[in-house]
Structure 1
Amino acid sequence: MDDGLALHHVGVRFGGLTALDDVSLRVPPGRVVGVIGPNGAGKTTLFNVVCGFLRPESGALTLDGRPLRPRPHRLTRLGIARTLQGTGLFAGLTVLENVMAGASHTARAGFLPALLGLPRSDRDEARLRGHALDVLDGLGIAEHADAAPGTLPFAVRQRVALARALAARPRLLLLDEPAGGLGADDIAELAELIRDLPRRDLDPCAVLLVEHHMDLVMAVCDELVVLDFGRVIAAGTPDEVRDDPAVTEAYLGADVEEPAT
């Protein structure tokens, strides 16, 4: 099956440094796929390739079996949404307005009707507002809709960033270290949210997760891909990866439960 996102023998080099070397992976619909590895393994480079910030020197990307050349500003139109390290929220907008911005590509009215305040634009805004409120409610943070992001605890801001990505109704969600800066209780709640995303009745989406918190990736991922020095050294279920001697040697360590990235 060719459904979903796939990387085929992708290579990226920076001068004489090989950042990714013959990397292949798939993110099929209905799955959470995690990418882990030690510091400098190539996780961020891989994420940037999928987001379109970097173009691979070799190999290819496909979406549903068709060639894919992602560009950051066109991801949502492909059904792909992403979060960034930190939150990346707009400080000058309310929580609700931030989430509405995530769905702006679905606006029907266009720029001129919005500029002139025409009735069609008003209807469009009302539709986006209702959808954004539904997404916030689904993540349990609708009470903060009118707040400025900077006034909220970091864990809540992280949920707002997730809500903004989900407002685009993606088929694939790219999560870049969403547990960074969170405490144990918040990570446990985040894990529950991520596990539910591919299985939701409304707008389910697959997930590609780049993360270094091992408790999170082991709890939510259906499959793991382990990078070391830009190469895939193991792939499989969390249990298979955890028991792989190559992974133990390169990344996990015999007594390490949560290595730093």
Structure 2
Amino acid sequence: MAMTEHGLAMHGIGVRFGGLTALDGVSLQVPPDQVVGVIGPNGAGKTTLFNVVCGLVEPAAGALTLDGRPLRPRPHRLTRLGIARTLQGVGLFAGLTVLENVMVGATNSARAGFAPALLGLPRSDRDERRLRAHALTILDGLGVADQAGAAPGTLPFAVRKRVALARALASRPRLLLLDEPAGGLGAEDIEALGELIRDLPHRVEHPCAVLLVEHHMDLVMAVCDQIVVLDFGRVIAAGPPEVIRDDPRVTEAYLGATVEQSGAGTPTPDGAEAGRGATA
């Protein structure tokens, strides 16, 4: 994948945990107008890669850049950099309504802050109205505005997933990190999620690039412009979906053998990862 000066880029990233090499010379780019997927068996280094971008793990080698400028991310400064991340679960606050959860995601742009707005403290009324309007707009765009007053725990899992996505989008990110967003969803919900993800880099207002880690290959193939395949911390393949789908190295990484040896067909990560150990 050719490097340019636009968007996020990782250059030769290396991460070690004691004697374990989690990432070994990993390079990739997320242009502003694309969805880039990262796939690989359990233990391949996908979560570690996300944690490097979020500043939770500091690489021992390599560098990150954003629009060609050095990037040293810190978790508490991600929204200021225009980066948002969803979790493998939903991570919603049980004591807040759906609307208030999404408002939390927008507080990086609020002058008074979220707590004063909720408590009705002086000079917060204007911010509160602006936050609520923005949060409702995001929820409406994801088709869940009718649940704004509900407690997250009362909602179906697929709806909570959308609320979590709305909270991430509320900060108006330029880059959205999606960590297994299809986990726990049925086929119909995954298809709807795919339509949402494909649209994100091309929205008229607040478009954002997407870096996606996902096990559901149908979703990855449907939404990604480029796919990077990791195996044991190294990039073994990178390119558009149609190239990755037919790459024998990808099949071998998932199945532990070539197609001829195993008699298997297209890689299916959900079923093929069981023997690879803990996720890295």
Same fold judged by TM-score > 0.5? yes
**Which ranges of structure 2 fall in alignment gaps of 5 or more residues?**
274-280
Does residue 196 of structure 2 align to residue 193 of structure 1? yes
| TM-score, structure 1 normalization | 0.96
Alignment equivalent of 2:214, drawn from 187, 211, 219: 211
- Call closer, same or farther: CA 1:113–1:39 in 2, change over 3 Å: closer
Q: Counterpart amino acid of 2:121?
A: G
Query: Which whole-Å deviations, capped at 9, do the CAs of 1:102-148 have from their partners, x for residues lacking one?
Result: 00111112589656721x31110100000000000000000000000
1:167 pairs with 2:170: yes
2:23 aligned partner: 20
Call closer, same or farther: CA 1:112–1:162 in 2, change over 3 Å. Answer: closer
2:269 alignment partner, SS class? coil
Q: Aligned to 2:268, which of 248, 258, 261?
A: 258
Return structure 1 stretches of 4+ with deviation > 6 angstroms.
none
Give, in angstroms, the shift of residue 41 of structure 1: 0.5
Q: Where does residue 277 of structure 2 map in the other structure? A: none
Post-superposition offset of 1:202: 0.9
% identity of equivalent residues:
78
Q: Which residue of 1 aligns with 2:153?
A: 150
Q: 1:93 aligns with which of 58, 82, 96?
A: 96
User: Which amino acid in structure 1 is aligned with residue 154 of structure 2?
Assistant: T
What is the deviation of 1:243? 1.2
Cα deviation 1:192-223 (Å, max 9, x = unaligned): 00000001111110000001100000000000
Residues 158-204 of structure 1: per-residue CA shift (max 9 Å, x gap): 00000000000001000000000001111000000000000111111
Unaligned stretches of 5+ residues in structure 1? none
Name the residue aligned to 2:68: 65
Partners of 2:154 and 2:98 in 1: how far apart? 10
The Cα shift of 1:73 comes to: 1.3
Offset at 1:258?
A: 2.9
Q: Distance in 1 between matches of 2:112 and 2:164?
A: 25
The alignment status of 1:75 with 2:78, answered yes or no, reads: yes
Q: Is the 8 A contact 2:107 2:113 kept in 1?
A: no
